[in-house]
Amino acid sequence: MGRFAYLTRAVWLLSLISLFTDLASEMLYPVMPLYLQSIGFSVLLIGLLEGVAEAVAGLSKGYFGQWSDRLGRRVPFVQWGYGLSALSKPMLAVLAAPWWVFLARTVDRLGKGLRTGARDALLSDETTPADKGKVFGFHRSMDTLGAVFGPTVALLWLAARPGQFRPLFWWAFVPGVLAVAVTFALRERPAAPSGRPPQPFWASFSYWRVAPPAYRRVVGALLVFALFNSSDAFLLLLARQRGMSEAGVIGLYILYNGVYVLSAWPLGHLADRLGPRRLLVGGLLAFAAVYGGVALARDGWAFAGLFALYGLYAASTEGVAKAWVSNLCARADTGAALGTFGGLGSLAALGASLGAGAVWQLAGPGWTFGLAAGAALSVAGYLALVRLRAE
């Protein structure tokens, strides 16, 4: 066990919770754009829905992250957050009205905002800076394993019952409830409250003002990238428009998540060995290649190769970025630092999704993906060259 001592009980439980939650969420994610179009949503309205949902998550991540630090408590935020996300799944099966869909997605994203900063702080507190890449990489692998199982269930369901989306929302409630049940097995280590005064909801990101310069440089660069990194729903929509079947689109999403599962943990090890900067830069270059490539792709094999590369991009950036950011702040501020990073990223996703939908409608998908590829290249260049006192 010595080699894997960093995989503590809390890390395993949090990873299992994320697996169940992602199984529930990802059972629905690849079919959501297809379902939304079937009930009358335009591409622009889908972009608005995804953007608003991410904005809710963004504001609440920063707010509840700093609240968690202030109380020195993590587990209650995790429990309530996963509970709200589980509740949102059957809501989508009840009505197909646009306002109700917006409400259900808001409840889901509020749950994500409640739990994210506290959960990531729990993971960070369970390890040392030398092992954070491994811990976050393992968590992302387990999380994404649910994202392989979920779309597989959706694929089997739609193969037997084409076009019958709404029963999936009821099925997704089951793993969501299992995730909530596991949260009650969590125990947290005593943590000293941060001592920072309470902040109102609209001041969710006040940590930015007191954050170390290295934190602001890294997070600032990643936020610029996030402004161009729109919802994956647009990639799935493009594949569908280029002639792939509903089952083929879901298959692409399973492939992406399968590559992610297999590579996130090894790439976390590599980040601890080589440093997170190199992994992040490499991941951004992979993103640029994917977004540049999908604008030109016309057949299933091309999309399959690009979605596999997209899995490598995600595995080398998402957990690695959290590990890097958590090393650029004081331990007592981990919840606020990670919550602010995640929260501002979600707000940036609002602009990214709205912008992507508008550019697609006005100029076509080539411009949507080309602009994102250019932004990724620029941010990769900056992160490769910027000087930091601590990493």
CB 247 within 8 A of CB 155: yes
Residue 73 token pair: 């408590």
pTM, full prediction: 0.72
Position 243 pLDDT exceeds 60: yes
Which domains are delineated in the chain?
2-188+204-385 (1.20.1250.20)
| CA–CA separation, 304 and 41 (whole Å) | 27
Angle between helices 43-71 and 98-125 (to 10 degrees): 40
Position 390 pLDDT exceeds 50: no
Phi-psi region of 163 (alpha: psi -120 to 50; beta: other; left: phi over 0): left
pLDDT, average across residues 363-387:
90
The rounded Cα 267 to chain-centroid distance in angstroms is 17
> What confidence tens digit (pLDDT) does each residue in 15-46 have?
999 999 888 887 877 677 777 777 777 777 77
| CA–CA separation, 208 and 342 (whole Å) | 12
CB 101 within 8 A of CB 36: yes
**Closest among 23, 75, 88, 89 to 254, alpha carbons compared:** 23
pLDDT, average across residues 121-148:
82
pLDDT value of position 121: 84
Mean pLDDT, the chain, rounded, equals 83
Position 123 pLDDT exceeds 80: yes
Residue 98: Cβ-neighbour burial (10 angstroms; 0-12, 13-18, 19+): middle
CB 214 within 8 A of CB 389: yes
pLDDT value of position 391: 46
> What confidence tens digit (pLDDT) does each residue in 206-221 have?
778 888 888 999 999 9
